[in-house]
């Protein structure tokens, strides 16, 4: 084969680059090669995401990943500084807020108990407290909201670049070529990958971090995952009358969410799942699905101007809407981290740490990611997360 490595990572997005960084930072001395087909990251999900970070999950594994990742993001600038240059990931800990109708309160109370058991300082706010947080909020149909002040939003592209730069500094090689096939020998062991340009690269360990494209590549080798690529849009807008305070990332009971982006705002909604690589965005969708909710929730949003929009792709796990992380049974040396279903940006630090440990030592030490193992589908051990939109 033309190239050789000890570990190949397919996909140099936030998760692939976090795996590369963590492996080398944790002392792995082998050669790590990252293949990335989209050098400008034009279509990768990471730069197209909403940057939301939350701990308001309902499963322990997702909360554990968030707790770990929160700590990393809080100290990212210092810990990822290179040659005195600190990456600015713009982490705004303005809180994460799920607004609740009367009907939603009992399940939010149940979720809060799980969160408290795992160290998350979530609180149920009443209408007055909601209005303290967002003075312009229409609370007439709300019974309260579940709030976590430590969470918020950040710049996913800068996190990704921080990981890439540091991984390269530690010796990872980034090759901007598309992997067209996995090479598996007759004993079901990973041998390497074939590239679109015809070259091959040998390695005993392959980590598939190919995002919305990862499961397709795997399927070509006959290794199937319940993941479809599903498009999601984001709309950026301004409003004539500025809000009194900067917003937490706020999730309306309808699934419409909004937050500040600088002094402007962005919003998105829970779109129906459809399997497509469609990067177009439609003004009409904003007008039909998002604007009425925004205008009903905050009076300032009755008069607004769309600045731009974009779409990205969720790697959507159709079975339990959670990441699939770990070693694949049946093929020695094959690891995956995909299926994030819209919350993979915030999980990247924990994913990288976990896979670094699994690959180097054969077990998880810092965070137990085993509930997200690929074999959970065959074992009927789904990880059902209620709070996914």
Binding to ligand FAD (CB under 6 A) within 44-103 occurs at 44-46, 48-52
Of positions 227, 346, 352, 358, contacts ligand FAD by CB under 6 A: 346
What sign does the CA torsion over 116, 120, 126, 128 have? positive
Residue pair 228/358 in contact by the 8 Å Cβ criterion: no
Residue pair 264/299 in contact by the 8 Å Cβ criterion: no
Identify the CA nearest to 234 among candidates 90, 345, 338, 69. 345
The first and second tokens of residue 151, run together, are 């969470």
Of positions 343, 353, 373, 376, contacts ligand FAD by CB under 6 A: 343
- Taking CB under 6 A as the rule, does residue 37 contact ligand FAD? yes
Looking at the Cβ atoms of 235 and 291, the one nearer to ligand FAD is 235
- Taking CB under 6 A as the rule, does residue 317 contact ligand FAD? no
Helices (H), ranges, 312-368: 348-361
Q: What is the DSSP letter of 300?
A: G
Of positions 70, 172, 313, 355, contacts ligand FAD by CB under 6 A: 313
Of positions 16, 229, 326, 339, contacts ligand FAD by CB under 6 A: 16
Looking at the Cβ atoms of 35 and 147, the one nearer to ligand FAD is 35
d(CA 209, CA 203) in angstroms, rounded, equals 16
Rounded to a whole number of angstroms, the minimum distance from the CB of residue 48 to ligand FAD is 5
Rounded to a whole number of angstroms, the minimum distance from the CB of residue 351 to ligand FAD is 8
Looking at the Cβ atoms of 139 and 309, the one nearer to ligand FAD is 309
Stretch that binds ligand FAD, among 59-67, 115-123, 282-290, 342-350 (CB under 6 A): 342-350
In the shown chain, the binding pattern of residues 246 to 285 toward ligand FAD, with x for contact by CB under 6 A and - for none, equals ----------------------x-----------------
Strand 249-251 to strand 257-261: parallel, antiparallel, or no bridges (unpaired)?
antiparallel
DSSP annotation string for 23-82: HHHTT--S-EEEE-S-TT-SS-HHHHS--EE----SSHHHHHHHHHHHHHHHTHHHHT-B
Residue pair 385/59 in contact by the 8 Å Cβ criterion: yes
SS3 373: coil
Instruction: Give CA angle at 238 (234, 243), nearest 5°.
Output: 110
Phi and psi (nearest 5°) for 84? 80, -5
Of positions 3, 23, 36, 68, contacts ligand FAD by CB under 6 A: 36
Stretch that binds ligand FAD, among 120-128, 235-243, 335-343, 369-377 (CB under 6 A): 335-343
Looking at the Cβ atoms of 137 and 251, the one nearer to ligand FAD is 251
Of positions 5, 11, 59, 172, contacts ligand FAD by CB under 6 A: 11
Looking at the Cβ atoms of 268 and 333, the one nearer to ligand FAD is 268
Stretch that binds ligand FAD, among 19-27, 114-122, 219-227, 337-345 (CB under 6 A): 337-345
Rounded to a whole number of angstroms, the minimum distance from the CB of residue 315 to ligand FAD is 7
Stretch that binds ligand FAD, among 43-51, 70-78, 361-369, 377-385 (CB under 6 A): 43-51
Of positions 144, 162, 248, 344, contacts ligand FAD by CB under 6 A: 344
Binding to ligand FAD (CB under 6 A) within 193-222 occurs at 209-213, 217
Rounded to a whole number of angstroms, the minimum distance from the CB of residue 140 to ligand FAD is 28
Strand 173-175 to strand 32-35: parallel, antiparallel, or no bridges (unpaired)?
parallel
DSSP annotation string for 133-171: HSTTB--TT--EEEEETT-EE--HHHHHHHHHHHHHHTT
Rounded to a whole number of angstroms, the minimum distance from the CB of residue 214 to ligand FAD is 6
In a 10 Å sphere around its CB, with 0-12 CB exposed, 13-18 middle and 19+ buried, how is residue 379 labelled?
Answer: exposed
d(CA 102, CA 108) in angstroms, rounded, equals 10
Tell me which residues touch ligand FAD (CB under 6 A): 10-11, 13-16, 35-38, 41, 44-46, 48-52, 178-179, 209-213, 217, 232, 234, 268, 312-314, 338, 340, 342-346
């Amino acid at each position: 084969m033309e190239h050789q490595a000890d570990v190949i990572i397919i996909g140099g997005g936030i998760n692939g680059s976090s795996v590369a960084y963590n492996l080398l930072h944790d002392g792995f001395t082998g050669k790590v090669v990252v293949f990335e087909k989209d050098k400008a990251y034009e279509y990768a999900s990471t730069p197209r995401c909403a940057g939301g970070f939350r701990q308001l999950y309902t499963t322990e594994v997702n909360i554990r990943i968030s707790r770990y990742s929160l700590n990393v993001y809080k100290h990212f600038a210092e810990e990822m500084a290179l040659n005195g240059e600190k990456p600015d990931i713009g982490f705004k800990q303005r809180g994460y807020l799920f607004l609740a109708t009367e009907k939603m309160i009992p399940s939010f109370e149940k979720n809060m108990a799980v969160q408290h058991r795992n160290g998350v300082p979530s609180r149920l706010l009443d209408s007055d407290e909601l209005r303290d947080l967002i003075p312009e909020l229409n609370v007439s149909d709300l019974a309260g909201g579940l709030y976590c002040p430590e969470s918020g939003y950040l710049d996913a592209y800068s996190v990704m670049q921080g990981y890439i730069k540091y991984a390269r500094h530690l010796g990872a090689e980034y090759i901007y070529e598309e992997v067209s096939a996995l090479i598996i020998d007759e004993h079901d062991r990973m041998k390497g990958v074939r590239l679109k340009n015809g070259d091959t690269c040998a390695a005993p360990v392959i980590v598939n971090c190919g995002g919305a494209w990862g499961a397709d590549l795997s399927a070509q080798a006959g290794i199937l995952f319940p993941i479809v690529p599903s498009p999601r849009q984001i709309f950026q807008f301004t409003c004539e009358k500025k809000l009194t305070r900067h917003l937490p990332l706020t999730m309306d009971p309808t699934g419409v969410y909004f937050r500040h982006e600088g002094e402007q705002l962005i919003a998105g909604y829970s779109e129906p799942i459809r399997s497509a690589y469609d990067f177009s965005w439609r003004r009409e969708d904003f007008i039909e699905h998002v604007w009425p909710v925004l205008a009903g929730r905050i009076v300032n949003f009755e008069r607004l101007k769309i600045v731009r929009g974009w779409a990205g792709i969720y790697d959507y796990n159709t079975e339990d809407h959670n990441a699939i992380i770990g070693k694949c049974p049946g093929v020695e040396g094959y690891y995956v981290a995909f299926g994030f279903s819209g919350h993979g940006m915030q999980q990247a630090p924990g994913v990288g740490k976990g896979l670094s440990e699994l690959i180097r030592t054969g077990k998880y030490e810092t965070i137990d990611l085993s509930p997200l193992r690929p074999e959970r589908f065959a074992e009927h051990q789904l990880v059902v997360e209620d709070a996914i939109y």
